[in-house]
Chain A
Amino acid sequence: AQSVTQLGSHVSVSEGALVLLRCNYSSSVPPYLFWYVQYPNQGLQLLLKYTTGATLVKGINGFEAEFKKSETSFHLTKPSAHMSDAAEYFCAVSDYGAAGNKLTFGGGTRVLVKP
């Protein structure tokens, strides 16, 4: 069974500071990995995904994540936080059975950006 662990349910950063959200996964097969963001009263929006190829993946809004197989990690970073980055972030791993794409989510990390 797959699982995802996000270290830290809440993260507080200053505007302009580095954002680092940690995600570790367990999977019996090479994983497909995703980061989603949820702004207040909105749905889950895809930030970026890793499927195959380059292990450093760039997403929207200046975010990027690096797949490290040896560490079973897929940490999300952004060099300089903006007030608009305040949201909840979810890491997810995919079970890529042919029956459909079932995502297993981490517990989420809520980001607070201080001015």
Chain B
Amino acid sequence: EPEVTQTPSHQVTQMGQEVILRCVPISNHLYFYWYRQILGQKVEFLVSFYNNEISEKSEIFDDQFSVERPDGSNFTLKIRSTKLEDSAMYFCASSVGGTGANVLTFGAGSRLTVL
């Protein structure tokens, strides 16, 4: 069964450092997403991406965050200057279409720890 692959599974970084989290979505999917889950809190939407541009973003997704699809397979989330509060599990997801009925397939997550 097709799956969404995320790397790294766990990254530890110092506050102020740049971090790039990588995702390989399912090959025939057109919509890509990042969500995050701070320990003990809800899974939160960060951003959706379609046709090489951001289609929607949350208030969490400020100027410190950026997304990119650098080639035909990877989808990346960059945090420019990490803060302690960026420590969370980050989930990448993809879907075939963009309507509410379309199912998101999630990756296993990348755990980011900011010290």
Contact = CB atoms under 8 A, between A and B. Distances in A.
A46 B56 contact: no
Nearest to A4: B42
B101 A100 contact: no
Interface string A12-55: 00000000000000000000101010000111111001010000
A34 B44 CA distance: 15
Interface residues of B, number: 31
Contacts, number: 79
Interface in B47-74: 48-50, 55-56
Given A43-B4, A43-B91, A44-B91, A99 B98 contact: yes
B106 A97 contact: no
Interface of B: 4, 6, 31, 33, 35, 41-45, 48-50, 55-56, 91, 93, 95, 97-109
